[in-house]
Amino acid sequence: MTAPLSFVASSEVAGTRMDRFLADQIADLSRSRIKALIKDGRLTADGNVLADPAAHVAEGVTYVLTVPPPEAATPEPEDIPLDVLFEDEHLIVVNKPAGMTVHPAVGNWTGTLVHALLHHCKGSLSGIGGVERPGIVHRIDKDTSGILVVAKTDKAHQGLSKLFAKHDIDRVYIAYVRGAPNPRTGTVNAPLARSNADRKKMAVVKEREGGPGKDAVTHYKVLKIFGRDPKKPLGAPAAAKVECTLETGRTHQIRAHMAHIGSPLLGDPMYGRGRAQHLLNLDDGRDFRDFRRQALHAAVLGFVHPVTKEELRFEADIPKDMQRLEGFLETL
């Protein structure tokens, strides 16, 4: 969007705040972005600069907003294939493979989802805060597979951010865990904070007034149990397939919560306390031995489209490596 945008105010909108009026007229710019443009002197009223976002609209006046082209993003676009589940002019929904980092960071400056989206969406990103980049509103870990929604416009970014802040998003994960949660269906309501022992990890903290933890709630349901743990009393499962529904979306939430209740994710190098050696010793363990990540997949994502208000729901099948893992677990 580089050409000046011109609007003539009608009697119906007279008296409206300027930033609100323009936000209603321009579909892909958020109100906060429009405020910044007005304060930057990019709005004129009948040819005169108007720099007050709170000014009232006057009937019959021609308002012209000049939107500069978005600045180039720092990461360079990379031609990386994407599994796109949905895309329109406002947002894109992708099924991220395990092993791909969402955003550039130390140790992962290339090959990220952001790099792939910059290439895939080239020419269709209107700019998040004035920068030509995809709007990341939530993330999943590098070694977690599954569904992510990403904004392509400033307005979609603002709308999605509000949905996540209100926890008004359906997010369902499939996890394979050591043992099985008891009871088989339940809720883990345990605040999370950075671990004092390892800042890369999250830890459950005691809930107290002014404490360091953030509210974290995970609803879970055991879908299937596998084998028997030879080191535990008769009837104790060796592993389980668990459906986890997020009420909140904290860093490492499912990984930390499942470990907290004694059923860490299989393959999890951070919360798993080893890689379930007893499973490796059963049969030849080939499929489990080859599984090199936490067994977690973001299977379902549902939300109301922040611009069109359409109800959207997406599902992504369990990836092949987790299918092989389940096949191995069924032999126990």
Catalytic residues: 141
Identify the bridge partners of residue 150 per DSSP, sorted by sequence position: 92, 136
Q: Which has the closest alpha carbon to 177: 119, 218, 127, 116?
A: 218
d(CA 37, CA 1): 13
Residues 6+ apart with CB under 8 A from 142: 98, 99, 100, 101, 102, 108
Which residue, among 142, 156, 118, has the nearest Cα to 28 in the 3D structure?
A: 156
Structure tokens at 153: 């416009």
Could you tell me which residues are beta bridge partners of residue 114? none
Q: Tell which residue, 220, 245, 252, has the closest CA to residue 300.
A: 245
DSSP 258-280: HHHTT-PBTT-TTTSSSS-HHHH
Rounded Cα distance, 132 and 328, in Å: 45
Q: How many CA atoms lie within 13 A of 322 on its CB side?
A: 27
